[in-house]
Structure 1
């Protein structure tokens, strides 16, 4: 990590664990300013930037500042961001189906979007430079939201997600039940079950990758371990989910992009 850069993860309190996978903080006092590619990981997030928000590249190729508080819905394509000043972030990574009641609307309406939640978190405060206290403050605020809205989990949707993460076959359903579940899945997760499986498989590559010096052979080995049949299949997903090749990503990515790839997609990544 760069000078002064830090990244830490915290387990959510028990009442929030069905909904939130991990709380994390990140700070980079002197970021490089380079463009970073953030890949889908199957989990929506609430992200609060206490310093200078990142700029995000739009569909027109223009970089514009993100709001200081965003809800990042499910992603099916890469997000390109770049820092414009010191970075200090507090974030909550939801379970794939954990944010529906927090957002209060179908998750499909937030897919591939970063929603401005500045007004909703007006008045929220967290101490600068104190990761554990920052995570605790966010957890306390989220617990208040959970109690007020009565968050719940759809057991059938959660079972589909668990099967996808374990690479198991999905539970058998009749055609009518399968269609009904797909509608509920898109409502509570934001993507189709097949898409989420593809994202999970892609993110498993980083569990086996060997770092910035990885060559084509080591990336292929990581892809095979993650469940890909061959290099072309893995390469197609790298182009789709990151917009580059594996070796290009390993060479160019640093700071927040690399930390998110190597840590927070993991099911048991919290400290």
Structure 2
């Protein structure tokens, strides 16, 4: 990490664990200002900028400031951001199917979008420089939202999410049951099961190789361990989800992008 840079994760309280995978905080007092590529990881997020919000590249390539509070829906393509000042963030990473009732609208309506939730979190405060207190403040706010909104989990969709993450086939369904479950899946997750499975497979690469010293051989080894058949298939995954090659990403990425990629989002031990 750079001087003063920090990234920390915190487990959500038991009442939120069916919905929230992890709470995390990040700070970079003197970021480089370089463009960073953020890859999909299968989880929507609520991200609160406590300092200077990032700028994000639009489809026209122009960088524009993000709102200070965003809901980032499922991603099927990379996001390019750059810091414009000191960074301090507190965020909640939802389970892939855990944010539907929080958002109170189909997750498919948020796919590849960053929704402005600044008005909804007006009045939310978190102490600067205290990661644990920041995470606790966000957990408390989310718990109020959970109780008021009667959040729930669809067992069938959760089963499909588990199967996608673990590369299992899931339950055998007849065509009518499969179509009905796919509709519920897109509503509660935001992408099709096949897309989520592809995102999870790509994300597993970073559990095996993330260092700047990684060469083509080590990236290929990581890709094979993640479930790719060969180097060309892995290369297509990098182009699809990061817009570059593995070695280009390892050479160029830093700060928040590298911190997010280096963390493991496996659900081992989740209640």
TM-score normalised by the shorter chain: which range applies?
over 0.9
> Hey, what does 2:172 align to over in structure 1?
172
**C-alpha distance in structure 2 between counterparts of 1:95 and 1:210, whole Å:** 23
The reply on whether 1:114 has 2:99 as its aligned counterpart is no
CA distance in 1, matches of 2:267, 2:200: 10
Query: Does 2:248 match 1:248?
Result: yes
Identify which range, 101-110 or 163-172, moves more after superposition: 163-172
Residues 97-246 of structure 1 mapped to structure 2, 5 A cutoff:
97-246=97-246
Q: Hey, what does 2:29 align to over in structure 1? A: 29
Question: 1:51 is matched with which residue?
Answer: 51
Residue 164 of structure 1 deviates from its aligned partner by: 1.1
Equivalents in 1 of 2:16, 2:210: separation in Å?
Answer: 33
* Counterpart Cα distance in 2 of 1:60 and 1:153: 37
Q: Is 1:263–1:269's contact at 8 Å kept on the other side of the alignment?
A: no
After superposition, the C-alpha distances for 1:55-85 in whole angstroms (9 at most, x for unaligned) are 0000000000000000000000000000000
Report the alpha carbon displacement of residue 171 of structure 1 after superposing the two structures with TM.
1.0
* Alpha-carbon displacement from aligned partner over 1:132-166 (angstroms, at most 9, x marks no partner): 00000000000000000000000000000111111
Deviations 1:89-124 (A, max 9, x none): 000000000000000000000000000000000000
- The answer to whether the 8 Å contact 1:186/1:192 transfers is yes
Distance 1:8 1:87, change over 3 A: same
CA–CA separation in structure 2 for the residues paired with 1:59 and 1:137: 34
C-alpha deviation, 1:267, in angstroms: 2.5
Residue pair 1:22, 1:264 contacting (<8 A) in 2 also = no
The corresponding residue for 2:16 is 16
Given that residues 22 and 269 in structure 1 are in contact (C-alpha distance below 8 angstroms), is that contact kept between their aligned partners in structure 2? no
Does structure 1 conserve the Cα–Cα contact (< 8 Å) formed by 2:182 and 2:192? yes
Gaps of 5+ in 1: none
Paired with 2:267 and 2:208, the residues of 1 have a C-alpha distance of 15
> What is the aligned residue count?
270
Q: Distance in 2 between matches of 1:167 and 1:115?
A: 30
SS in 2 for 1:32: coil
Aligned mates of 1:242, 1:265 — CA distance in 2? 18
Structure 2: gaps of 5 or more residues: none
Show CA shifts across 1:28-53 (max 9, x none). Answer: 00000000000000000000000000
- The answer (yes or no) to whether the contact 1:235–1:245 under 8 Å persists in 2 is yes
Whole-angstrom distance in 1 between the partners of 2:114 and 2:264: 19
